[in-house]
């Protein structure tokens, strides 16, 4: 019985590792030209871990972005806008309207980090 439980836990760990390794692809609204209502949805590249919504006067920009580069200076330089308000977030389609609550999502990596200690403890009980 002990070895059977160990194999089950090993199988669960293996499946969890494979699922988490597949990555987490964020989806954001993205429009090349500033438009009042952006409806185009894209899957961001692996190096883009945030969605950006920028308001510069009457213009609105929506795109995938790096959360690390979510600063006024970086955004202003890229868009060529001296005055702007920006909003960075990291859940699916969160850059549609600023201030809207889209709930919370967990990435596979976060789930793996939460579940691993539990599985390790259970593994020790079976060995």
Its pTM stands at 0.59
77 assigned to some structural domain:
yes
Q: Classify 82 as helix, strand or coil.
A: coil
46 assigned to some structural domain:
yes
16 assigned to some structural domain:
no
- Looking at residue 105, what is its pLDDT? 39
SS (H, E, C) 6-28: HHHHHHHHHHHHHHHHCCCCCEE
Task: Say yes or no to pLDDT of 10 above 70.
Answer: no
State pLDDT tens for residues 36-93. Answer: 788 999 999 999 999 999 999 888 899 999 999 999 999 999 989 999 999 999 999 9
87 assigned to some structural domain:
yes
Asked if residues 7 and 117 have their Cβ atoms less than 8 Å apart, the reply is: no
C-alpha 19/C-alpha 108 separation (Å) is 7
Q: Which of 11-15, 66-70, 103-107, 121-125 has the highest mean pLDDT?
A: 66-70
Q: What is the mean pLDDT of the chain?
A: 75
- The whole domain housing 100 covers 26-126
7 assigned to some structural domain:
no
More confident site: 59 or 21 = 59
17 assigned to some structural domain:
no
Query: Roughly what angle, to the nearest 10 degrees, separates helices 108-126 and 2-21?
Result: 170
**What total number of domains does the chain contain?**
1
């Amino acid at each position: 019985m002990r070895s059977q439980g160990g194999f089950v836990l090993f199988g669960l760990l293996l499946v969890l590792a494979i699922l988490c390794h597949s990555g987490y692809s964020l989806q954001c609204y993205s429009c090349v030209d500033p438009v009042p209502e952006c409806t185009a949805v894209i899957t961001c590249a692996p190096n883009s871990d945030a969605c950006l919504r920028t308001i510069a006067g009457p213009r609105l920009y929506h795109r995938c972005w790096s959360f690390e580069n979510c600063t006024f200076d970086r955004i202003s330089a890229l868009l060529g806008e001296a005055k702007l308000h920006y909003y960075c977030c990291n859940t699916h389609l969160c850059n549609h309207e600023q201030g809207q609550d889209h709930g919370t999502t967990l990435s596979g990596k976060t789930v793996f980090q939460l579940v691993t200690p539990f599985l390790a403890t259970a593994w020790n009980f079976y060995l």
